[in-house]
């Protein structure tokens, strides 16, 4: 079966991790563009507030309180989507959690919890979505991370889950293609995004955590995800800084290690700006969420690299060729 994805305004989209950060931005932008959305998160009050706000603006939205680590709860999400809107067209596995600290500092139960949410949550969602989408086709979009390409100090469990999500996504894509299912499978890899993640993560460091710059707003991730809902694409990097951070370790891994060992920890600490205490530590229980973090940071509202990746394949090749020509001319000029 060939892959045919509907225009966004004709879709029913499931979004996990919908009450905060990237998930909240995805839900808001999808509803603004006419999609019907099932918003999924652990906390009922923020979901109820989100539904009231968007429905009050004329949006089509349903909610489902669920922890994606619970396979039965994820099954219930699909049931809510079908009961409310009649079908599912795209499923976005976005929910995530994390810790800051060394591998020794993080207790084994917390390692497992990060895997339960970040890996098994994606697995649960992917399997349920694939079963529902086999009949009419659609899109599965998994939100990974550039840390699936490159591990970083102080976030070992999170990095491990994002490496696992990349392998899971690639395997799922191959299995569905081999079965002739008309399902697009995309992995979106955000760089550092200004969400409440540093405040929500359980912290074992002696300083408040932060995300290292350059940062982008959650709208950049929402742009990538919603593009993948309507156009089949293997991978999308959300943020040029993230792409560059992924390339260096592939080209010079030992150099990247050496740099990380020097700057990796201080780049992730913000001693005088801990953020909102009401948001701290959502590893096992939901906390107050928002689109963006409460720390004082600068975040870019767009990503040129993402826009280039969104180009049709022919234009992308032409753009790459043009960039190569420009670089070659620049080298010649610099030699004169």
Please name the residues in contact with 259: beta carbons below 8 A apart, sequence gap of 6 or more. 248
CA proximity to 230, closest of 168, 312, 175, 300: 312
Which residues partner with 37 through β-bridges?
Answer: 13, 61
Residue 83 has φ and ψ, to the nearest 5°, of -65, -35
Measured over the CA atoms of residue 7, residue 12, residue 16 and residue 22, the dihedral's sign is positive
Q: Report the number of secondary-structure helices (H) and strands (E) in the chain.
A: 12, 12
Give the pair of three-digit tokens for residue 67: 């922890």
Other CB atoms within 10 Å distance of the CB of residue 285: 8
CA proximity to 16, closest of 6, 27, 5: 27
| CB of 91 closer than 8 Å to CB of 14 | yes
Catalytic positions are: 158
| DSSP per-residue letters across 284-302 | SS-----SS-SS---EES-
Q: Kindly list the distances between the CA atom of residue 294 and the CA atoms of 73, 264, 265, in Å, as whole numbers in the listed order.
A: 30, 22, 21
E strands, 183-323, in order: 183-190, 192-193, 202-203, 215-216, 235-238, 299-300
Rounded Cα distance between 101 and 8, Å, is 40
Other CB atoms within 10 Å distance of the CB of residue 280: 18
Rounded Cα distance between 329 and 126, Å, is 46
């Amino acid at each position: 079966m060939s892959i045919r994805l509907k225009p966004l305004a004709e879709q029913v989209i499931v979004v996990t991790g919908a009450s905060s950060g990237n998930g909240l931005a995805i839900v808001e932008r999808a509803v603004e563009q006419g999609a019907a959305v099932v918003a999924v998160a652990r906390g009922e009050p923020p979901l109820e507030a989100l539904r009231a706000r968007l429905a009050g603006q004329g949006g089509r939205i349903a909610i489902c309180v669920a922890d994606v680590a619970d396979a039965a709860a994820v099954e219930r999400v699909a049931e809510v989507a079908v009961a409310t809107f009649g079908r599912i067209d795209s499923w976005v596995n976005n929910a995530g959690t994390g810790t800051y600290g060394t591998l020794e500092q993080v207790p084994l139960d917390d390692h497992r919890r990060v895997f339960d949410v970040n890996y098994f949550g994606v697995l649960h969602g992917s399997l349920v979505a694939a079963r529902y989408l086999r009949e009419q086709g659609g899109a599965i979009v998994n939100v990974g991370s550039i840390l699936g390409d490159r591990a970083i100090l102080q976030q070992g469990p999170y990095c491990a889950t994002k490496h696992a999500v990349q392998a899971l996504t690639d395997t799922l894509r191959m299995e569905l293609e081999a079965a002739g299912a008309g399902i697009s499978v995309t992995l979106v890899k955000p760089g550092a995004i200004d969400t409440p993640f540093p405040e929500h993560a359980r912290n074992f460091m002696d300083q408040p955590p932060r995300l290292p710059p350059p940062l982008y707003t959650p709208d950049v991730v929402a742009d990538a995800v919603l593009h993948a809902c309507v156009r089949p694409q293997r991978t999308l990097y959300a943020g040029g800084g993230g792409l560059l951070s992924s390339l260096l370790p592939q080209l010079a891994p030992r150099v990247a290690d050496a740099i990380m060992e020097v700057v990796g920890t201080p780049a992730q600490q913000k001693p005088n700006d801990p953020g909102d205490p009401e948001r701290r530590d959502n590893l096992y229980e939901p906390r107050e969420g928002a689109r963006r973090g409460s720390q004082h940071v600068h975040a870019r509202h767009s990503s040129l690299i993402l826009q280039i990746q969104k180009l049709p394949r022919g234009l992308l090749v032409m753009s790459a060729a043009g960039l190569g020509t420009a670089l070659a001319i620049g080298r010649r000029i610099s030699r004169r």
